[in-house]
Amino acid sequence: MILDRLLVRAVSAFAGAVLRGGPRGRLSILLYHRVLAAPDPLLGGDPDTNTFRAQMALLKNIFNVLPLSEAIERLQSSSLPARAVCVSFDDGYRDNAELALPILSELGVPGTFFIATGYLDNGRMFNDSVIEAVRQAPEGNVDLTALQLGRHTITDLESRKRLIRHVIESIKYRRSDERARVAEQIAEHWGVNLPNNLMMSSQQVRELTAAGMEIGGHTVTHPILAEVPDGEAEREIRQGREELAALTGQPLKVFAYPNGKPGTDYFPRHPAMVEKAGFAAAVSTAWGVSTRETHRYRLARFTPWDRELPRFALRMVQNGLRPLRNAAQ
């Protein structure tokens, strides 16, 4: 208990000095994907409910957690409070509604959920197809040369992780339909059954809205915008917004670039497309904080990988010191 109090005092002091408010305000936006019922060794970047609850409780005790749209407006108007933080989720996983939402609601922490509409109601993203196929694959030699993915050997957990990383990185920048096709062929290679309950239902999106959470656009099929023709990129951005607005009955204000790395996953022309579609701001995956000088369609976000609470708190402070490299992208 004494250690907890000391941690809160120390982090609060450092965070107040780093994440300033007012005209020199600095906004820190956290990025999550999934919240798991129990730790999963193949999903090491995603927290379980105990870890997530502890992180949200720390944010509630130390930081000023704001709805994203409000925080962006206050950042631009120089009225952002010190230690300002936002919590966001990408893609639209079912566990966001079933596991994360109850924790957020209980603690009074607002969240923004960026949803790719093409996977709602029993859809599945290509990366999850890969993960679940490799999870169920038998040990032994793996010949994926017919898919231009090489030969591999599965012997243990680490070899499964390596194979998952290799496949996802190899096909990530292909067209959405081709990524899905290759991922399905990998599952067929082992004859495994893939789950159809990973993503939210339309009703769960409505439940998030009813609970006071913000919904943001994330395209339809989660393409890497830099890899598709401009007309297709514009359609994905616009259609995703229209579908979510129709589903929730509310206009969408914020957008998240799929994958989100400036200069690699989206280019300077894409923020104009996002603005044209009717969004007021957009977030990337460039780490760091945002200030009044940061382009409102290129806001920074970071993922808090640390599971131990003191390290998580330290990471929050460290992120506030990161240079704003995304501002010029």
Question: What is 194-254 written as a DSSP string?
Answer: PPS-SB--HHHHHHHHHTT-EEEE--SS---GGGS-HHHHHHHHHHHHHHHHHHHSS---E
pLDDT in tens, 245-262: 999 999 999 999 999 999
Q: Please tell me the distance from the alpha carbon of residue 219 to that of residue 256, in angstroms, as a whole number.
A: 8
Q: Are residues 135 and 65 in the same domain?
A: no
Closest CA to 198 of 123, 291, 273, 115: 123
Residue 113: in which H helix or E strand, if any? strand 112-115
pLDDT in tens, 144-158: 999 999 999 999 999
Residue 112: in which H helix or E strand, if any? strand 112-115
pLDDT at 7: 65
Angle between helices 230-248 and 202-210 (to 10 degrees): 60
Q: Are residues 86 and 210 in the same domain?
A: yes
Q: Are residues 52 and 138 in the same domain?
A: no
Q: Are residues 99 and 171 in the same domain?
A: no
User: How many domains would you assign to the chain?
Assistant: 2
Q: Are residues 71 and 183 in the same domain?
A: no
Instruction: With a cut of 60, say whether residue 200 has pLDDT above it.
Output: yes
CATH number, domain containing residue 288: 3.20.20.370
Model confidence at 319, pLDDT cuts 50, 70, 90, reads confident
Which of residues 152, 174, 190 is at a domain's end?
Answer: 190
Which of residues 150, 167, 190 is at a domain's end?
Answer: 190
Structure tokens given for 22: 């007012």
pLDDT in tens, 265-295: 999 999 999 999 999 999 999 999 999 999 9
Q: Are residues 114 and 131 in the same domain?
A: no
Residue 81, domain extent: 2-121+198-328
Q: Are residues 114 and 235 in the same domain?
A: yes
Strand partners, 29: 86
Mean pLDDT on 305-309: 84
pLDDT in tens, 117-133: 999 999 999 999 999 99
Look-up: residue for tokens 């760091």?
Answer: 288
Q: Please tell me the distance from the alpha carbon of residue 167 to that of residue 126, in angstroms, as a whole number.
A: 10
Residue type at 104?
Answer: L
Which of residues 173, 190, 207 is at a domain's end?
Answer: 190
Q: Are residues 136 and 184 in the same domain?
A: yes
Chain CA centroid to CA 239, Å: 20
Model confidence at 2, pLDDT cuts 50, 70, 90, reads very low
pLDDT in tens, 177-189: 999 999 999 999 9
Mean pLDDT on 133-141: 96
Alpha carbon distances (Å) from 124 to 128, 176, 183, 241, 259: 7, 12, 10, 20, 16
Residue-by-residue DSSP string for 29-44: EEEE---BSS--GGGT
Q: Are residues 14 and 144 in the same domain?
A: no
Q: Are residues 161 and 219 in the same domain?
A: no
Structure tokens given for 152: 């591999």
Contacts of 91 (CB under 8 A, 6+ apart): 33, 114, 115, 116, 119, 125, 199, 218, 222
pLDDT in tens, 85-101: 999 999 999 999 999 99
Q: Please tell me the distance from the alpha carbon of residue 245 to that of residue 217, in angstroms, as a whole number.
A: 9
pLDDT at 307: 83
Q: Are residues 91 and 224 in the same domain?
A: yes
Structure tokens given for 104: 């957020």
pLDDT in tens, 27-55: 999 999 999 999 999 998 899 999 999 99
Strand partners, 299: 283
Q: Please tell me the distance from the alpha carbon of residue 30 to that of residue 299, in angstroms, as a whole number.
A: 11
Task: Kindly state the percentage of the chain with pLDDT values over 70.
Answer: 93
How many residues are recorded in the chain? 329
Model confidence at 16, pLDDT cuts 50, 70, 90, reads low
Q: Are residues 177 and 310 in the same domain?
A: no
